[in-house]
Amino acid sequence: MKIGILGYGNLGRGIECAIRQNDDMELVGVFTRRDPSTVKVDSDVPVYSADKLAKMQDQIDVLMLCGGSATDLPKQTAEYARMYNVVDSFDTHARIPEHFERVNAAAIASGKIAMISVGWDPGMFSLNRLYANAILRDGNDYTFWGKGVSQGHSDAIRRIDGVLDAKQYTIPVESALEAVRNCENPELTTRQKHTRECFVVAEEGADLARIEKEIKTMPNYFADYDTTVHFISMEELKRDHAGIPHGGMVLRTGKTGKNGENNHVIEYRLQLDSNPEFTACVLVAYARAAYRMNQRGISGCKTVFDVAPADLSPLSPEEMRAHLL
């Protein structure tokens, strides 16, 4: 399978790494909208201008779209689905239906597969919501995120006057999680599910009390949460908060039996040192499926819901049945 990467940020770099762990894949090139000479990749793979993609269809089986969901992917996915099998990580949940329609039209026209919203949420968490709902019909769903870095919330803090840099961790509330696991079916408010912890580097002489208040009262981002703010030095931030860990849990609790007397808990949990590298691994597995499905004549926009698990694995059906079933 010959793979191209469009966009070389954290996700693109993660995909470059992930392809090295998959013997049946080969990285053809990294494509960028910047000047290719300014992009330094980790391997000896060539860096091309994104313009070259107009004429490389015979050299690439699946193109990995590593742009952002805010502005890149709403345009790029449909555009490149007209030329390639593509995989994206579009993660604006509320806009998935419209993204699907736009991309589906393009992929059906080209006869390619466009696999959208791949990653862990949306992605593996979505899959677990679907499986658990199909099994436990009478029950409740819960999704907790963290402990992990929220890029959006970190950025929001950085925009405050007097802040040099910041890192924000989303943390699930342990007592809420325990109530769910104990089948108490709690109804949880935003505040009861997660807390937010912020590590902030302020300018010298900045009004720390004002910064702290601006963070804690920021609508949408922090106002609905119990938020803790720690002011630290730039050295401490770089030393102790350089990583991009994340994770979380999807749970469903449900009842079965003549009178609903039996309780069940299904829990899927991720604990990730590197959010983008793990996301990249999921995208690469779905690139394999996109290629195989397209080889079988399937086209159009697909999500993780449409992919038979066997298509993700490099093993043969016989090996899977013998060793994984």
User: Where on the chain is the footprint of its own copies (CB under 8 A)?
Assistant: 14, 17-18, 21-22, 42, 93, 96-97, 100, 117, 122, 124, 126-131, 133-138, 181, 247, 256-258, 261-274, 277-278, 280-282, 285, 288, 303-310, 312-315, 317-318, 320-322, 324-325
Minimum distance, C-beta of residue 92 to its own copies, in the bound complex (Å): 11
Give phi and psi for 245, each to the nearest 5.
-75, 155
Minimum distance, C-beta of residue 184 to its own copies, in the bound complex (Å): 13
The contacts of residue 213 (CB under 8 Å, 6+ apart) are none
Separation between Cα atoms, residue 221 and residue 150, nearest integer Å: 10
Minimum distance, C-beta of residue 306 to its own copies, in the bound complex (Å): 5
Nearer to its own copies, 54 or 325 (CB): 325
Minimum distance, C-beta of residue 147 to its own copies, in the bound complex (Å): 13
Minimum distance, C-beta of residue 250 to its own copies, in the bound complex (Å): 10
Nearer to its own copies, 230 or 269 (CB): 269
Minimum distance, C-beta of residue 102 to its own copies, in the bound complex (Å): 13
Nearer to its own copies, 93 or 230 (CB): 93
Quick check: helix, strand or coil at residue 325? coil
Minimum distance, C-beta of residue 315 to its own copies, in the bound complex (Å): 8
Nearer to its own copies, 229 or 307 (CB): 307
Nearer to its own copies, 180 or 215 (CB): 180
Give the DSSP letter string of 52-86. GGGG-TTT-SEEEE---TTTTHHHHHHHHHTTSEE
Nearer to its own copies, 165 or 277 (CB): 277
Minimum distance, C-beta of residue 324 to its own copies, in the bound complex (Å): 5
Nearer to its own copies, 228 or 274 (CB): 274
Nearer to its own copies, 25 or 166 (CB): 25
Minimum distance, C-beta of residue 126 to its own copies, in the bound complex (Å): 5
Quick check: helix, strand or coil at residue 287? helix
Nearest to 146 by CA among 250, 22, 279: 250
Nearer to its own copies, 7 or 122 (CB): 122
Burial class, 260, CB count within 10 angstroms (exposed 0-12 / middle 13-18 / buried 19+): exposed
- Residue 298 C-beta-side C-alpha neighbours within 13 Å: 16
Separation between Cα atoms, residue 208 and residue 141, nearest integer Å: 39
Angle between the 73-81 and 96-110 helix axes, to the nearest 10 degrees?
20
Quick check: helix, strand or coil at residue 17? helix
The 3-state secondary structure of 174-238, one letter per residue: HHHHHHHHCCCCCCCCHHHHEEEEEEEEECCCCCHHHHHHHHHCCCCCCCCCEEEEEECCHHHHH
- Work out whether strand 226-231 and strand 246-256 pair parallel, antiparallel, or are unpaired: unpaired
Separation between Cα atoms, residue 285 and residue 180, nearest integer Å: 31
